[in-house]
Structure 1
Amino acid sequence: MTEATRRTPGTPSWVSLMVHGLDATQEFYGALFGWEFVPGPQQLGPYVRALLDGKEVAGIGQLPPDRHLPVAWTTYLATDDADEAAETIRCCGGTVAVGPLDAGEAGRLVICSDPVGAVFGVWQAELHHGTATAGPPGTPVWNELLTYETSAVAKFYQTVFRYEAEPVVSADFDYLTLHLDGRPVAALHGLGTALPRDRGAHWMTYFEVADTDGAARLVTELGGQVLRPPREGATGRIAQVADPEGAVFTIVHSAGDRD
């Protein structure tokens, strides 16, 4: 993934976070994940790219002082044509909030929301192809939409990005895995009334860690919060946490990485 390879449209290709305190946020994630930072495109204000072993893994930008937006990680889905994607999103009942606009020579982006209100990004790569490594601790390894129910919103994502959807057959578990070229790339999880009312539908980023319990303790020591304590999940040991500004994410020690 280190080469300049174009991602299949619909593949999660990047995650970014817009915050009020850029320096403090860099300190938090640098201590938690071992990230280092370099300047990125400044079209939307101060912005840095997080590096792990010299490879780009995520972006963090600073919100204008007068913008009181929810602080949240944003999943970007790859596209070959940001303008066409934006038009399709509108036609399918979504909303385009920002763009399409150029991020310097890196690429072209759109920030939008699905018909239920979950925010996500669309990225048309030029020089910047997105996350350059996934798998090692400190990298984003999975993206999942948490929504009220999957059936209606699945049609939106399938129309825009041509996903094949594979449901988990269960009477009490509303879960769809999204596939491209026969491989799983993301998922939709319907939570019903368990969906947090204060957040609504939202995309969740999973970051790999070497030790879920130790990372959860470190989150607290660094000024963040543990929202759901470490537990065994389908893919490994997971915990839901928030950084000091309230951005929620999931940490996971994947089952396949265990000794």
Structure 2
Amino acid sequence: MAVEPEGTPCWADAMFTDIEGAKSFYGDVLGWTFGEASSQYGNYTQAYANGKAVAAVVPPMPGQEGQSAWCLYFASPDVAATAKKIKDNGGEVLMEPMQVGDFGSMAIAREPSGAVFGVWQAGTHEGFEAKGVPGAFCWAEVFTRDPAKLDAFLPAVFPYRAKQMQDDTVDFRVFSLGDEMALGRMRMTDEFPPEVPSYVNVYFTVDNCDDAVAKATKRGGVLRFGPMDTPFGRFAALSDPQGAAFSVIDVQTTQGEMPALSDV
């Protein structure tokens, strides 16, 4: 695989206090298998779908225990330059750029409305080895309470072009790279409890949304929304047993017309 264009979601990982529990849960729900834990890198463990690297799980470092959450990384040709843009445009760099062996370089940041994300400059690890197939990442949305801040920030940091969905019932924006949709942005409504901060929601592809939901809830996951049919696929929003939010989507089962988008 070639290095992804700047701003492309290119990798996802999550910290879990119960790493074996996380492996068991996602192995069952998404069909993942797992590689050997890399003791040199904090027992970082890659997840695979049909032999292709699609994500990773890692135990928290001492003092970093807390709410589990998926972190989505965006591709950058120069992680230090991206970190500077993040700071210059109202974001916060939580982990300054650091090299990870010959795999690449990373930073962790928070955008001005509060969602945490990663930046990845590829070395030997270029990112997802598969997308949009069962078990693999296919889409992500930033849920935010302050769309204006996020809408100004994202195109200032990455070479995105924005389009707004023409729908009076929902405030949804799509950020694209060329002709490729890269990321969605959803305004959080009052349905979200006030203690829930802005966050990035990752979507993993499944063969059957309802089956994945049944497996997840049987294993202690919580169904937050759905399943629901959309023009993009049948999806559901979940939390895993350790509290990390994610969604599953069957992209083969679609319903309805694609929404109209207009340039902004």
TM-score tier (shorter): over 0.9
Aligned partner (choices 48, 51, 55) of residue 48 of structure 2: 51
Aligned partner (choices 194, 212, 222) of residue 215 of structure 1: 212
**Structure 2 residue ranges without an equivalent (≥5):** 256-264
Residue-by-residue CA offset, 1:87-113 (whole Å, 9 max, x unaligned)? 110111111111211122111000110
- Tell me the equivalent position of 2:139: 142
SS in 2 for 1:9: coil
CA distance in 2, matches of 1:132, 1:72: 22
CA distance in 1, matches of 2:171, 2:70: 23
- Taking structure 1 as the reference length, the TM-score comes to 0.93
- Tell me the equivalent position of 1:109: 106
Aligned partner (choices 138, 160, 165) of residue 163 of structure 1: 160
CA distance in 2, matches of 1:205, 1:141: 8
- Tell me the equivalent position of 1:206: 203
Range that drifts further, 167-176 or 127-136: 167-176
Range that drifts further, 73-82 or 39-48: 39-48
The alpha carbon displacement at 1:8 in A equals 0.6
Letter in 2 for 1:136: V
Range that drifts further, 118-127 or 90-99: 90-99
SS in 2 for 1:68: coil
- Tell me the equivalent position of 1:191: 188
- Tell me the equivalent position of 2:258: none
CA distance in 1, matches of 2:37, 2:164: 38
CA distance in 2, matches of 1:42, 1:115: 34
- Tell me the equivalent position of 1:69: 66
The alpha carbon displacement at 1:163 in A equals 0.4
CA distance in 2, matches of 1:174, 1:57: 30
Letter in 2 for 1:39: E
The alpha carbon displacement at 1:255 in A equals 4.1
CA distance in 2, matches of 1:192, 1:183: 27
SS in 2 for 1:130: coil
- Taking structure 2 as the reference length, the TM-score comes to 0.91
Residue-by-residue CA offset, 1:126-156 (whole Å, 9 max, x unaligned)? 0001111112111110011011242321110
SS in 1 for 2:35: strand
Aligned CA RMSD, in angstroms, stands at 1.8
Range that drifts further, 33-42 or 11-20: 33-42
- Tell me the equivalent position of 1:17: 14
Range that drifts further, 60-69 or 93-102: 60-69
- Tell me the equivalent position of 2:89: 92
SS in 1 for 2:68: coil
CA distance in 2, matches of 1:67, 1:141: 28
SS in 2 for 1:194: coil
SS in 2 for 1:10: coil
- Tell me the equivalent position of 2:172: 175
Letter in 1 for 2:222: Q
Task: Report if the CA contact (8 A) 2:33-2:49 is conserved.
Answer: yes
Aligned residues: 255
Q: Sequence identity, in percent?
A: 30
Letter in 2 for 1:222: R
The alpha carbon displacement at 1:159 in A equals 0.3
